């Protein structure tokens, strides 16, 4: 199945005009490709984009943080280019609606899977590099990571949502988070649904292809709700 939105709409969201055919390739997951006669998919672009992403983030952190040593810079870079961070970026721009997925991935919530979201972000960066060059691709990377850099609290929560929720709950005098898991679907493609409770009150829910992913999604949603209420 294709995404519900067009590449042109995504270009507007990204603020950059990438060749429509190349952008469509960047949005094509291998599950869609295999179900449509083995057409090209986005994994080569993902490989390229990963390199561009790493370079752009490295230079940004180096220039903006002269007080940090190599070890601290490496930790921040690892956080910013992690699948969790890239998936968070993807959600902020609504990327899931644009991805071309096969029926199996569609039915098992592929548009919400952090790995698919993160890989697609990298593929788009790769497409921008091929079509527009290094400067435009770097500018795109910096626009994408800007929301996390501008909101250190949310950035930290996106990196480790369960710990961040536990710390926030303690700060506001709530009990320790309690996670409750249910699953659905056949054994080979289960979907996990997590509810996170504080003092026996369900604060938020999350879904994922593993218990860990579902709990992290629920924790980040709960953190967001509590953070907003505390302001």
CATH code for the domain of 205:
3.30.160.20
pLDDT band at 79 (very low <50, low <70, confident <90, very high): confident
Identify whether residues 167 and 105 lie together within a single domain.
no
pLDDT at 1: 47
Tell me if 9 is assigned to a ligand binding site.
no
Residue 155 domain flag: no
Q: Contact 56/143 with Cβ under 8 angstroms? A: no
Tell me if 46 is assigned to a ligand binding site.
yes
Q: pLDDT of 114-171, one tens digit each?
A: 889 999 999 999 999 999 999 999 999 999 999 888 877 776 777 788 888 999 999 9
DSSP SS3 for 15: coil
Identify whether residues 133 and 165 lie together within a single domain.
no
Report the alpha-carbon distance of residue 127 to residue 121 in Å, rounded. Answer: 10
Residue 171 domain flag: yes
Mean pLDDT, range 172-178, rounded to an integer: 93
Residue 88 domain flag: yes
Q: Any idea which residues carry the catalytic annotation?
A: 50, 122
Identify whether residues 19 and 83 lie together within a single domain.
yes
Tokens of 109: 């919530």
1 CB-near residues (< 8 Å, 6+ apart): 32, 100, 101, 102, 103, 106
Identify whether residues 124 and 16 lie together within a single domain.
yes
DSSP letter for 156, please: H
- CATH code of 88's domain: 1.10.1520.10
Residue 156 domain flag: no
Q: Contact 85/158 with Cβ under 8 angstroms? A: yes
Residue 125 domain flag: yes
Identify whether residues 146 and 226 lie together within a single domain.
no
Half-sphere exposure of 108 (CA within 13 A, CB side): 20
Report the alpha-carbon distance of residue 188 to residue 31 in Å, rounded. Answer: 16
DSSP letter for 203, please: E
How many domains, in total, are found in the chain? Answer: 2
pLDDT at 4: 58
Identify whether residues 114 and 174 lie together within a single domain.
no
Tell me if 122 is assigned to a ligand binding site.
yes
Identify whether residues 84 and 183 lie together within a single domain.
no
Domain boundary among 125, 150, 175: 150
Domain that holds residue 193: 161-230
pLDDT band at 217 (very low <50, low <70, confident <90, very high): confident
User: Average pLDDT, whole number, for the chain?
Assistant: 89
Residue 200 domain flag: yes
Determine which helix (DSSP H) or strand (DSSP E) holds 206, and give its type and residue range.
Answer: strand 201-208
Residue 64 domain flag: yes
Q: Contact 86/122 with Cβ under 8 angstroms? A: yes
Helices 152-159 and 83-92 pack at an angle, to 10 degrees, of 120
Residue 183 domain flag: yes
pLDDT at 214: 84
Cα angle 16, 47, 220; round to 5 = 70
Give yes or no for residue 5 having a pLDDT over 80: no
């Amino acid at each position: 199945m294709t995404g519900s939105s067009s590449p042109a709409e995504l270009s507007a969201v990204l603020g950059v005009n990438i060749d429509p055919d190349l952008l469509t390739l960047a949005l094509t997951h291998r599950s869609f490709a295999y179900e449509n006669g083995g057409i090209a998919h986005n994994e080569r672009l993902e490989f390229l984009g990963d390199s561009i992403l790493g370079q752009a983030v490295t230079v940004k952190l180096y220039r903006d943080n002269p007080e940090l040593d190599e070890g601290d810079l490496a930790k921040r870079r690892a956080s910013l280019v992690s699948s969790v961070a890239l998936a968070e970026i993807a959600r902020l721009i609504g990327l899931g609606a644009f991805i071309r997925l096969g029926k199996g991935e569609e039915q098992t919530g592929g548009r919400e899977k952090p790995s698919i979201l993160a890989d697609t972000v990298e593929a788009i960066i790769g497409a921008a590099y091929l079509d527009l060059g290094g400067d435009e691709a770097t500018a795109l990377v910096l626009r994408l990571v800007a929301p996390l850099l501008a909101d250190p609290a949310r950035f930290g929560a996106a990196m480790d949502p369960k710990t961040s929720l536990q710390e926030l709950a303690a700060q506001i005098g709530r009990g320790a988070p309690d996670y409750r898991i249910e699953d659905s679907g056949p054994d080979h493609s289960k979907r996990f649904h997590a509810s996170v409770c504080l003092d026996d009150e369900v604060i938020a829910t999350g879904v994922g292809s593993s218990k860990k992913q579902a709990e992290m999604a629920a924790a980040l949603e709960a953190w967001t709700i509590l953070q907003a209420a505390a302001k």
